[in-house]
Amino acid sequence: MKAVFVKVFGHVQGVGFRYFTYRVAKRLNVTGYVRNAEDGTVEIHAEGEEKILERFLDEVSRGPTMAIVTDVRVEEVPVQGFRSFDIVH
């Protein structure tokens, strides 16, 4: 089990990015959360097996159709043991 904190930059708010991320996480059985940050980025805490997280990050790096992702920063963080994946407001 591995955990990552992801910060997604670009035109990523107001384009369904959180819901897109939620659907990808549910499909891949990734746990954690996604939220809009005050600085206009999207923040994600994701937990899962390493290969699954790689697939998750690949899809999130592209984002939904209307998003324009300019940068994705990933940092490995301690596993917190989330049981589900949620959209945090």
Residues in the chain: 89
> Of 29, 36, 73, 83, which is the active-site residue?
36
29 is a catalytic site residue: no
Give me the residue label for tokens 């920063």: 73
How many CA atoms lie less than 13 Å away from 48 in the CB half-sphere?
22
Active site residue 36: yes
How far, CA to CA in Å, does 81 sit from each of 13, 74, 77?
27, 19, 12
Q: Enumerate the β-bridge partners of residue 88.
A: 35
List the catalytic residues.
18, 36
